[in-house]
Amino acid sequence: MKYFLLETDKKISQLPQLVRWYEKIDIRNIHLESAYKISSRQLLFVKGDEDTFYPDIISTPLFLMSQEAKKVVTMYEPRTIWKETVLLDQDAEKVSRYFLPIFEEVDCLAPETVFNLNHSLLKEIVLDREKIKDCAIFRIGNIEKQYIVGNLDIVESMLKRGFRGIGVTELRVT
């Protein structure tokens, strides 16, 4: 099975900028065991303009998915925990509904993985097939930053539905 890193397409420059999101969501709680500490619904303010593009996946500073992306993920991983996140751009008078997924974390990095100097970021991701189990979409475990990985089935399903603004990078698997 092939696996891909899921993120916002790097070619998109006009993304909504979340403002003071850290006051409402503590990233240390975006884990299955502490997800209960995150409100089931929150309003986050964003800055944008008339050219701001709202993709189906926003990967930074939080990993957020559109309602359509949530539907696809739920088909493959029905036990995923979701936190509704409404994005409000007051200046542009635009409201967008997204969802913060709490994915299973899988400690699946192979020894060939390349880290940055302080081991907080991955420079080259190499997955160990034996450790992945049968997860269709998951978060790489034991890394501070969120790296979300989907298998070929879920990525194809998203792309066939015409999702916009999604960046996929095939990962090496040993």
pLDDT for 133 equals 83
pLDDT single digits (tens) 119-140: 778 989 999 999 998 899 999 9
DSSP 37-64: GS-SEEEEEEE--TT----SEE-SSS-E
pLDDT single digits (tens) 9-54: 999 989 999 999 999 999 999 999 999 999 999 999 999 888 899 9
How many domains does the structure of the chain reveal? 1
Q: Across the chain, what does the average pLDDT equal?
A: 94
- Closest by CA position to 171, among listed 135, 122, 99, 134: 122
pLDDT for 92 equals 85
pLDDT single digits (tens) 144-162: 889 999 999 999 999 999 9
Portion of the chain with pLDDT greater than 90, in percent:
87
pLDDT for 143 equals 87
State which residues form the domain around 67. 3-173
DSSP 78-94: TT-EEEEEEEEETTTTE
Banded model confidence at residue 69, pLDDT cuts 50, 70, 90:
very high
Highest averaged pLDDT of the listed ranges 57-66, 87-96, 112-121:
57-66
Q: How far apart are CA 163 and CA 107, in angstroms?
A: 28
Please check whether residue 131 is in contact with residue 140, taking contact to mean a CB–CB distance below 8 angstroms.
no
pLDDT for 121 equals 82
Degrees to nearest 5, angle at CA 172 with 60 and 167: 30
Q: What are the tokens at 161?
A: 């539905």
- Name the one residue in this structure whose structure tokens are 């979409």: 137
Q: How far apart are CA 59 and CA 39, in angstroms?
A: 20
